[in-house]
Structure 1
Amino acid sequence: MTVTPGVADSLRLVEDHPEPPPEEGAILVEALSVGICGTDHEIIAGHYGEAPPGVDRLVLGHESLGRVLEDPSGTLQPGDLVAGIVRHPDPVPCPNCAVGEWDMCRNGRFTEHGIKALPGFARDRWRLQPRFAVGLDRALAPVGMLLEPASVVAKAWDHIERIGARAEWQPQTVLVTGAGPIGLLAALLATQRGLAVHVLDRNTTGPKPELVRALGATYHTVPVSELDFEPDVVLECTGAPAVVLDVMCKAGPTGIVCLTGVSSGGRTIDFDAGALNRSLVLENNVVFGSVNANRRHWDLAAEALTRADQSWLGSLITRRVPVEAYARAYAPEPDDIKVVLDFGS
Structure 2
Amino acid sequence: MRAVTVSPRIPGSLCLVEDWPEPAVEEGGILVEALAVGVCGTDQDIIAGHFGEAPPGQEQLVIGHESLGRVLEDPTGTLHRGDLVAAIVRHPDPVPCLNCAVDEWDMCRNGLFTEHGIKGLPGFARERWRVQPRFAVPLGAAFARVGMLLEPTSIVAKAWEHIERVGHRARWDPRTTLITGAGPIGLLAALLATQRGLTVHVLDRNTTGPKPDLVRALGATYHTESVNEVDLQPDVLVECTGDPRVVLDSMCKVGPTGIVCLTGMSTGGRTIDFDAGALNRTLVLENTVVIGSVNSNRRHWEQAAAALARADHSWLDALITHRIPMSDFTTAYEVNDGTIKVVLDLTA
TM-score for the superposition, normalised by structure 2: 0.98
Please give the secondary structure, in 1, of the residue aligned with 2:9: coil
Q: Distance in 1 between matches of 2:56 and 2:263?
A: 30
Residues 1:230 and 2:233 aligned together: yes
Please give the root-mean-square deviation of Cα atoms over the aligned residues, in Å.
Answer: 0.7
- The one-letter code sitting in structure 1 at the alignment partner of 2:116 is H
Q: Which residue of 2 aligns with 1:89?
A: 92
Alpha-carbon shift at residue 282 of structure 1 (Å): 1.1
199, 202, 210: which one aligns with 1:199: 202
Please give the secondary structure, in 2, of the residue aligned with 1:13: strand
Structure 1 stretches of 5 or more lacking a match? Answer: none
Q: Which residue of 1 aligns with 2:211?
A: 208
Q: Which residue of 1 aligns with 2:184?
A: 181
Q: Distance in 1 between matches of 2:206 and 2:230?
A: 16
Superposed CA offset, 1:18-72 (max 9, x none): 1101110000000000000000000001110000001100000000000001111
- The one-letter code sitting in structure 2 at the alignment partner of 1:291 is V
Q: Distance in 2 between matches of 1:181 and 1:105?
A: 25
Q: Distance in 1 between matches of 2:101 and 2:182?
A: 35
97, 103, 106: which one aligns with 1:103: 106
Superposed CA offset, 1:240-295 (max 9, x none): 00000101001001100000001111111111111111111111110010000000
33, 37, 44: which one aligns with 1:34: 37
Residues 1:138 and 2:141 aligned together: yes
Please give the secondary structure, in 2, of the residue aligned with 1:197: strand
Residues 1:290 and 2:330 aligned together: no
Residues 1:220 and 2:223 aligned together: yes
Alpha-carbon shift at residue 238 of structure 1 (Å): 0.2
Please give the secondary structure, in 1, of the residue aligned with 2:194: helix
Alpha-carbon shift at residue 344 of structure 1 (Å): 2.1
- The one-letter code sitting in structure 1 at the alignment partner of 2:266 is S
Superposed CA offset, 1:154-179 (max 9, x none): 00000000001111110000000000
Q: Distance in 2 between matches of 1:328 and 1:269?
A: 34
Q: Distance in 2 between matches of 1:329 and 1:257?
A: 32
316, 320, 326: which one aligns with 2:319: 316
- The one-letter code sitting in structure 2 at the alignment partner of 1:266 is G
Q: Distance in 1 between matches of 2:185 and 2:273?
A: 28
Alpha-carbon shift at residue 308 of structure 1 (Å): 0.3
Q: Distance in 2 between matches of 1:229 and 1:40?
A: 34
60, 65, 68: which one aligns with 1:62: 65
**Number of residue pairs matched?**
345
Alpha-carbon shift at residue 321 of structure 1 (Å): 0.6
Q: Distance in 2 between matches of 1:297 and 1:32?
A: 23
Please give the secondary structure, in 2, of the residue aligned with 1:278: helix
- The one-letter code sitting in structure 2 at the alignment partner of 1:168 is R
Q: How does 1:124-163 map onto structure 2 within 5 Å? A: 124-163=127-166
Q: Distance in 1 between matches of 2:31 and 2:314?
A: 30
Q: Distance in 1 between matches of 2:337 and 2:123?
A: 26
Q: Distance in 1 between matches of 2:230 and 2:27?
A: 50
Q: Distance in 1 between matches of 2:253 and 2:105?
A: 32
Please give the secondary structure, in 1, of the residue aligned with 2:99: helix
- The one-letter code sitting in structure 2 at the alignment partner of 1:98 is A
Q: Distance in 1 between matches of 2:129 and 2:55?
A: 15
Q: Which residue of 2 aligns with 1:261?
A: 264
Answer with 269-278 or 100-109: which moved more: 269-278
Alpha-carbon shift at residue 333 of structure 1 (Å): 2.5
Q: Distance in 2 between matches of 1:118 and 1:162?
A: 31
Structure 2 stretches of 5 or more lacking a match? Answer: none
Residues 1:77 and 2:62 aligned together: no
Answer with 326-335 or 47-56: which moved more: 326-335
Q: Distance in 1 between matches of 2:142 and 2:149?
A: 13
Please give the secondary structure, in 2, of the residue aligned with 1:257: strand
Please give the secondary structure, in 2, of the residue aligned with 1:209: helix
Please give the secondary structure, in 2, of the residue aligned with 1:319: strand
Q: Which residue of 1 aligns with 2:274?
A: 271
Q: Which residue of 2 aligns with 1:13?
A: 16
Q: Distance in 2 between matches of 1:256 and 1:92?
A: 33
Q: Distance in 2 between matches of 1:316 and 1:43?
A: 23
Percent identity between the two aligned chains: 74
Q: Which residue of 2 aligns with 1:305?
A: 308
Please give the secondary structure, in 2, of the residue aligned with 1:95: coil
Q: Distance in 2 between matches of 1:185 and 1:312?
A: 11
Q: Distance in 2 between matches of 1:98 and 1:234?
A: 31
Q: Which residue of 2 aligns with 1:339?
A: 342
Q: Distance in 2 between matches of 1:114 and 1:301?
A: 20
Q: After TM superposition, where is structure 1 displaced by more than 2 Å over at least 4 residues in a row?
A: none
TM-score for the superposition, normalised by structure 1: 0.99
